[in-house]
Chains A and B, each alone.
Chain A
Amino acid sequence: MKLMTCPINGSRPVSEFVYWGEIRPMPDAATCSDDEWADYVFNRNGAPGVKKEWWCHTPSNTWFIAERDTEKDKVLRTYLHGEDE
């Protein structure tokens, strides 16, 4: 079983986590076209590569960001939202 490093709780089995999805900027709802909005809501990029994703350590309800190489199936780093600098 894979390990995932929660920035608060450390390395834990991946079964303790839920994956929410890639961080994607929301288009400006006031100005974007219906098509742009539909693309944002319904389409996901499944191409392998390095992704920034929301993950949650469920027992402690800790949300954080994981940078993951989905091609190599490798977690590159994890950090709390806004603490990536």
Chain B
Amino acid sequence: MRLPAMPDEWLDRSRAVRFRFEGRSFEGLTGDSISSALWAAGQRTLGRSFKYHRVRGILSAANHDVNVMLQDGQKLNTRGDVIAVREGMDLTAVNTFGGLAGDRARHLGMFARFLPVGFYYKAFHNKRLFPAWERLFRRITGLGVIDFGTPHIRTAKSYDFCDVLVVGAGPSGLAAALAAASSGASVVICDENARAGGSGLYQLGADDARRMQTRTLLDQVRAHPRIRLLEGTYAAAYYADQWVPLVDADKMTKMRARAVIVAAGVFEQPTVFRNNDLPGVMMGSAMQRLIYRYAVQPVRRAVVVTANADGYRVALDLLAAGSTVASIVDMRANVPPSAQADALRSRGVEILAGHAVYEAHANGKGELDGVTVCRIDGAGRVVSGSNRSIDCDGVAMSTGWAPTANLLYQAGTKMRFDDLLQQFVPDTLPEGVFACGRVNGFFRLESRIADGQRAGLDAAAHAGFGAPSDTRIPPESEAPSLAWPIVAHPDGKNFVDFDEDLQVKDFENAVQEGYDNIELLKRFSTVGMGPSQGKHSNMTALRILARLTGKTPQQVGTTTARPFFHPVPLSHLAGRGFSPQRHSPLHGRHAALGAVFMQAGAWERPEYYRVEGRSRIDCIREEVRRVRTAVAMIDVGTLGKLEVRGPQAAEFLQRVYTGRYDNMKVGATRYAVMCDESGVLSDEGVVARVSEDVFYFTTTSSGAATVYRELSRLNIEWKLDCGLVNLTGAYSAVNLAGPASRKVLAQLTDMDLSSASFPYLACRSGLVAGIPVRMMRVGFVGEWGYEIHMPAEYGPTLWDAVMKAGEASGIGPFGVEAQRLLRLEKGHLIVSQDTDGLTNPFEVGMNWAVKLDKPFFVGQRSLQILKQMPLKRKLVGFLLAQNHSGQVPMECHLVIHDGEIAGRVTSISWSPHVGRYIGLAFLQPSLTEPGTPFSIRIGDGSMVAAEVCATPFFDPKDERQKEAE
């Protein structure tokens, strides 16, 4: 029944909302939740429970009524108790077979004794039967039906900052926000409810002065220029250093605060008695929410079962809403004197101290129509023969609370169980995290507001504003929670966890089976594992476990609180990937030439250039042929390009590379190998001495960033008189290779390209096509060639000039695949392809590059030790048989010798020059003599014969680098 307008109701009475529920038409008001609209219309059966398919109604109206889970078209997981009803909604209850009223699974409860706690683990371990069980359970469980045609939604993320973030906009949170803001802090206060105010606007006991206190705070918060109020927004988690994701209907905001105040309040906990799940039995606070938020009379004739002052206020609120209160059943032996109790007595309400609800009774529709009450003794045991029936259509449960401490736990707060409050409260809070109000153990309204002010000042002071508070707030004198809100019943159905239909006996059985630790109990019984994540069940479970094991709640402890506090839609979490991809300055040229790109570290590089009508392998072979017989060009701008300058530049290189650089002549280049401290080969490149104090050197493409970073660190540590510049992005580079390369280059430069003045392995500076360049004569691919380095912005111009000049010589581009084969023919290794995280230079035949007699270099001492030890493996060249047909081994295929692993392939390719498959492989030293046969095990398990071969496979004496006489 709808009540007259309430002062802070959430409704817009001028706008009715029409919607359908289970095929029937209903009408609510704008601002109604789905449940409140249905309840106002007299609909009490709102959903079916998960396991036994019992009818359920409103439990908390605070986001935990997970049995009222609805599907609205494509939209799943619509929680009726909080989601606002909208015009045209077509809602169906999930978890029913054939609709809510006639659910064919409604008799499952009769089989309850065949479905004991942990029955999953007991019944479904048979491998043969498991697929059948799985099919059955997939059909009968699950909440809603997924429509795979649901459109893809992109949800934006936002980032925000504040000095103080307040989680929860009830009386203490509002007071905290105001106090922090008055100290000068910028404050954000969020609340998961559609409107702020929290319990301050509904836990009234028909006392308007209480409401006005919160109303005033709320008005001040709204008016304060330094406070932003975010309604309908929940703090989903707490991450390190005050990082809190705030989730609203549309997006997630990653909020970074200097201080976080948790003023999240408490969850009301159910009283556990038989049939405490019937529609009509609900939390006292749920009835107050219905009255003051939605102006709905919750029930006509209520029994209030309570053990605290809150229950008395519920009774007064019910009277104010026109309901009858049949009886107040106070589970405490004595009722403390209070104005509320007096007011109720004066209005003729019977108060039964030392009583409990023994069981609730249902009418034909399965909805509440009466209760049996009984006397209980000091330990909560039922006094036999004391039963008495009371007719009612509602029971308000108001016997205790559990702190909404999820974020506090996630932040690392140490909590302590307060025996007077019968509640966990923060004991030691982490730096920058504050708690106030009921979650902090203060329940009287004045105390909550005062505690909020204290926390606000403390948090602002932590954020650098004002001074902390020196207020001490007097502790509570009356327990808000009952230690044992549980009434035993031989026939059970006294529910602890409404998500999972867990009864008291399920816990007794679990403990009897040995699951007597809270974490084990949770996993075995599934308590707290339903959609409400234990918000109304964990505390009761903990109390039961404590009593069964003879421990205190403190000793039992709580389960670990993990993100998220509340289910976050996946669309809010999914986002676009941010993996930066680098393009060389010549990328556009490659694309225009039909390049097929491959991922090489952070770079996209041309794997090969596609030619119309040719296969990939033919294109690559044509590129190889062009390098060997004419001239071709490859973009090597992805190489790391560094410069070290200063009087001690040579000394620096001496220390970081294994070779000698102090004796290099200006204009010379030298191959360089880098090791780490353990002597493992970590990078390689070419060092060029540009002038006495300036060296220009390259690193591998993949190692560029890390090598530069590590060399910077070493330079800081060593304090040498030199500086390091990373030119990787600033320079472009190409390798012009092939017998005709000099002829092509000669057209573009006045430099003397004769062998006498520009010999192999020399470095020269000059102009090519009018562009200032550094050139090195290198032989990676085994042909006469020039590595041309120039400022990145000139790259395309130079590329075009060389391509044009080479037209007559049949020039073309070549890609990474062709280069891999060309270098393989020369026996050149690629670091990280032909080496791994344990390879030392001796294993790959680079003894010549390691100058152990230098005073110091990184890895020297380790290499000295390794040098004395026998090699464990060696990288050698190999050939497959001349007439090899069938499958070809691949990289990483193993070498098998005498049934044991004796090595692995690191590179393999068809060599047009040799006319056979050639490759590099690590082999145990006994197999490394040229001519030694060995076997490679390929993917299908068969063996392929191979033979060790000396490298290089092509031009072993570097004749191609020498000038024809």
Closest to B715 in A: A63
Task: Indicate whether A54 reaches chain B with its CB closer than 8 angstroms.
Answer: yes
Given A41-B677, A41-B862, also A61-B240 (CB < 8 A): no
CB distance from A74 to the nearest CB of B (A): 8
Closest to B862 in A: A41
Q: How large is the interface on A (under 10, 10 to 19, 20 to 34, 35 or more residues)?
A: 20 to 34
Closest to A28 in B: B861
Query: Which residues in window 240-292 of B have CB below 8 A to A?
Result: 240-241, 243
Closest to A34 in B: B865
Given A29-B856, A29-B861, A37-B865, also A1-B716 (CB < 8 A): no
Q: Which residues of B lie under 8 Å from residue A32 when comparing CB positions?
A: 861
Q: Contact at A37–B239, with CB atoms within 8 Å?
A: no
Task: Indicate whether A39 reaches chain B with its CB closer than 8 angstroms.
Answer: no
Given A37-B862, A41-B677, also A1-B713 (CB < 8 A): no
Q: Contact at A2–B241, with CB atoms within 8 Å?
A: yes
Task: Indicate whether A81 reaches chain B with its CB closer than 8 angstroms.
Answer: yes
CB distance from B718 to the nearest CB of A (A): 11
Closest to B860 in A: A29
Q: Contact at A20–B713, with CB atoms within 8 Å?
A: yes
Closest to B719 in A: A82
Main secondary structure of the interface of A (DSSP, over half): mixed
Partner of B240, one of A1, A20, A40: A1
Partner of A73, one of B240, B726, B856: B240
Closest to B864 in A: A29
Complexed CA–CA distance, A18 and B705 (Å) = 12
Closest to B708 in A: A61
Complexed CA–CA distance, A69 and B239 (Å) = 18
Closest to B239 in A: A1
Closest to B856 in A: A29
Task: Indicate whether A58 reaches chain B with its CB closer than 8 angstroms.
Answer: yes
Partner of A61, one of B243, B712, B860: B712
Closest to A81 in B: B716
Complexed CA–CA distance, A1 and B563 (Å) = 13
Closest to A65 in B: B716
Task: Indicate whether B134 reaches chain A with its CB closer than 8 angstroms.
Answer: no
Partner of A1, one of B243, B431, B708, B726: B243
CB distance from B575 to the nearest CB of A (A): 14
Query: Which residues in window 306-334 of B have CB below 8 A to A?
Result: none
Task: Indicate whether A50 reaches chain B with its CB closer than 8 angstroms.
Answer: no
Closest to A37 in B: B861
Closest to A18 in B: B709
Partner of A56, one of B239, B241, B677, B709: B709
Q: Contact at A1–B241, with CB atoms within 8 Å?
A: yes
Task: Indicate whether B678 reaches chain A with its CB closer than 8 angstroms.
Answer: yes
Q: Contact at B708–A42, with CB atoms within 8 Å?
A: no
Interface digits, A44-85 against B, CB 8 Å rule (1 contact, 0 not)?
000000000010101001010000000001100000011000
Q: Contact at B678–A41, with CB atoms within 8 Å?
A: yes
Task: Indicate whether A3 reaches chain B with its CB closer than 8 angstroms.
Answer: yes
Complexed CA–CA distance, A15 and B591 (Å) = 34
Task: Indicate whether B717 reaches chain A with its CB closer than 8 angstroms.
Answer: yes
CB distance from A3 to the nearest CB of B (A): 5
Q: Which residues of A lie under 8 Å from residue B431 when comparing CB positions?
A: 74
CB distance from A27 to the nearest CB of B (A): 9
Complexed CA–CA distance, A42 and B431 (Å) = 36
Partner of B712, one of A1, A3, A63: A63
Q: Contact at B240–A2, with CB atoms within 8 Å?
A: yes
Q: Which residues of B lie under 8 Å from residue A81 when comparing CB positions?
A: 716-717
Q: Which residues of B lie under 8 Å from residue A1 when comparing CB positions?
A: 239-241, 243
Closest to A38 in B: B865
Query: Which residues in window 715-754 of B have CB below 8 A to A?
Result: 716-717, 719, 726
A-B contact pairs, 26 of them (CB 8 A): A1-B241, A1-B243, A2-B240, A3-B240, A3-B241, A20-B713, A29-B856, A29-B860, A29-B861, A32-B861, A34-B865, A37-B861, A37-B862, A38-B865, A40-B677, A41-B677, A41-B862, A42-B678, A56-B713, A58-B709, A61-B709, A61-B726, A63-B712, A63-B713, A63-B716, A74-B431
Which A residues have a C-beta under 8 Å from some C-beta of B? 1-3, 18, 20, 29, 32, 34, 37-38, 40-42, 54, 56, 58, 61, 63, 73-74, 81-82
Q: Which 10 A-B pairs have the closest CB atoms?
A: A29-B861, A2-B240, A3-B241, A41-B678, A63-B713, A81-B716, A2-B241, A41-B677, A1-B243, A37-B861
